[in-house]
Amino acid sequence: MNHEMPKLPYANNALEPVISQQTIEFHYGKHLQAYVNNLNNLIKGTEYEGKNLVEIIETAPEGAIFNNAGQVLNHTLYFLQFKPNPERKEPSGKLLEAINRDFGSFDEMKKQLNAASVGLFGSGWGWLAMDKEGKLSIRQEPNGCNPAKHGLKPILCIDVWEHAYYLDYQNRRPDHVNAIWDIIDWDAVEKRM
């Protein structure tokens, strides 16, 4: 199986001012492309060659294959959860019901995910994830790790590697994390449940 770049459903400049065209061109166009290329080269002739990203993450030991597969999946979920000027600023339906059940409110879930994302030491990801029973939780995952490694379904993510925000926010990680909420495509996120 050859892994490919996800196709962005928006133009490179469409997420401005939250994420600049320059950041998209570097983060998506260079960083993610490098992860895809590396993964495809690393899995040739291995037991992982015919596996999808989640299967690789669930079974590969930590190392180059795991890290690159994780980053391809993480970035695919990240970039495909955005929309310029989304109609809704909050989830609805089953996702909102689950958030209210497990966190008390959308605002509380958002507060916890922001805190996890801002508080992660070094590079990594803040996640809203769901277990097999449908319970939601907030996760901090270092580097290229993903909730799938722990048997959880990734629902929503915030990238806190510096290349995700440094051109636009410099060292102001909290500003980046707070701004992301303005471009979440809740329709896309809700389909992940």
| pLDDT number for residue 17 | 97
**73-116: pLDDT as tens digits:** 999 999 999 999 999 999 999 999 999 999 999 999 999 999 99
pTM of the model: 0.95
Please check whether residue 13 lies inside any domain of the structure: no
Together in a domain, 109 and 157: yes
Give the domain CATH number at 54.
1.10.287.990
Closest by CA to 129, choosing from 31, 112, 143, 90, is: 112
Please check whether residue 5 lies inside any domain of the structure: no
Average pLDDT, the chain: 95
Together in a domain, 45 and 127: no
Please check whether residue 63 lies inside any domain of the structure: yes
Together in a domain, 98 and 46: no
d(CA 76, CA 152): 17
Rounded mean pLDDT, 53-66: 93
| pLDDT number for residue 1 | 73
Query: What three-state secondary structure class fits 99?
Result: helix
Together in a domain, 97 and 74: no
Please check whether residue 97 lies inside any domain of the structure: yes
| pLDDT number for residue 49 | 94
Together in a domain, 180 and 105: yes
Together in a domain, 61 and 123: no
Closest by CA to 19, choosing from 75, 72, 76, 84, is: 84
Please check whether residue 141 lies inside any domain of the structure: yes
| pLDDT number for residue 20 | 97
**162-180: pLDDT as tens digits:** 999 999 999 999 999 999 9
* Cβ(28)–Cβ(75) below 8 Å: yes
Rounded mean pLDDT, 13-17: 97
User: What percentage of the chain exceeds 90 in pLDDT?
Assistant: 96
Together in a domain, 104 and 71: no
Residue 70 is part of which domain span? 21-79
CA atoms within 13 A on the CB side of 8: 20
Give, as one character, the DSSP assignment of residue 7: P
Q: How many domains does the chain have?
A: 2
Please check whether residue 111 lies inside any domain of the structure: yes
H-helix segments, 64-193: 64-79, 93-103, 106-119, 166-169, 173-180, 186-190
Residue with tokens 């809704």: 88
Confidence of residue 137 (pLDDT cuts 50, 70, 90): very high
Position 37 pLDDT exceeds 80: yes
